[in-house]
Amino acid sequence: MKIGLYSITYLGLWYHGPALTMEEVIGRAKRFGYEGVEIDGKRPHGNPVDLPRTRCAELRHRAHDAGIDIYAVAANNDFGSPIPEHRDSQLLYVRDLIRMAADLGAPVLRMFAAWPGVTIGDGTATYLTARRLWREAQQGSTADDTWARCRDGLVEAARWAAEYGVTLALQNHPPVTNSPDDMLRMIREVDSPAVKACLDAPLAARQGIRSMLETARSVHGLQVLTHFGGEYERRSDGSVLGNVRNPDETLTPEHYYAAFAQGMRDIGYDGFTGYELCHPLPPIDGTPADLAFADLNAQLAAEYMRAIESETSLSARQP
């Protein structure tokens, strides 16, 4: 797998400080040894309102000159709303993201089935309010109702994606695709060659998957994108320790990532695994996490994943 940097890390949502420009994100990717970037589909990085064809060409050329691939764009879409006006606006958003991805030369658009969003206060983001509002909006709907709305939205989006030659990568992300099995079921029901899988190992680990190897093998022929996250620190011997302070993680990557990487190798996956720093950050020694914290984690995450990939590759070659 190639290692990429998801721009959500530098969107200014989770640390105190300004968002970087996409040119700066490309520069960080180059500096820290990443091979590509995934552009988050919201302001200030990748809302399609702000990226007409000319701006996409500028970013495409900047990335090419730096030797960095723009390997994906990430949609923050919610097809689960029971409000027709909301779903219609989300369809327009996704349609323009597909156009934008094509203009950027990005072959993949990461998709949610449903996504509550975030709210911002005191300079950083939180999930709590948006998740509560999403649950309240669903109170008059059954789980099957919500599922059907998401499926119908993906079916429509898949037709546009096929026209532009873009692949939609559905993630195993709550609140509707709550497991790898849910993700695969949705892909089957949408039934389009333009819709593939974005199986993420950290999410699967939190979703109770017991065999990461078998779960990885389940997306054979479908996997086109994957992510990893968390926080990192350097040990005294120079090696990197993973997921040291992420309260959402019940298992560290040491428990599951070697098996996942082996499964990806078994199915011939040679795409990107993208690092994302995308969760509330507690204060560090009483001081809010800042841009320097994001930089440190982006650097260490790249080292960490390269080491895991190298170890897995070495064990695969041994008799």
Q: Is 6 left (phi over 0), alpha (psi -120 to 50) or beta?
A: beta
Question: CATH code at 47?
Answer: 3.20.20.150
Which pLDDT tens digits describe the chain residue by residue (319 residues)? 899 999 999 999 999 999 999 999 999 999 999 999 999 999 999 999 999 999 999 999 999 999 999 999 999 999 999 999 999 999 999 999 999 999 999 999 999 999 999 999 888 899 999 999 999 999 999 999 999 999 999 999 999 999 999 999 999 999 999 999 999 999 999 999 999 999 999 999 889 898 999 999 999 999 999 999 989 988 888 888 776 555 455 555 656 788 898 999 999 999 999 999 999 888 888 899 999 999 999 999 999 999 888 877 655 555 5
**167 with 109: CB under 8 angstroms?**
yes
The burial of 236, by beta-carbon neighbours within 10 Å (0-12 exposed, 13-18 middle, 19 or more buried), is given as exposed
Domain that holds residue 108: 2-317
Q: How far apart, in whole angstroms, are the C-alpha atoms of residue 249 and residue 257? A: 13
Block residue for tokens 């039934």: 191
Amino acid identity of 23? E
Angle at CA of residue 167, ends 197 and 305, nearest 5°:
55
Question: In this predicted structure, what is the pLDDT of residue 130?
Answer: 97
Proportion of the chain in helix, strand, coil states, percent, rounded to 5: 45, 15, 35
The burial of 201, by beta-carbon neighbours within 10 Å (0-12 exposed, 13-18 middle, 19 or more buried), is given as buried
Domain count within the chain? 1
SS (H, E, C) 269-301: CCCEEEEECCCCCCCECCECCEHHHHHHHHHHH
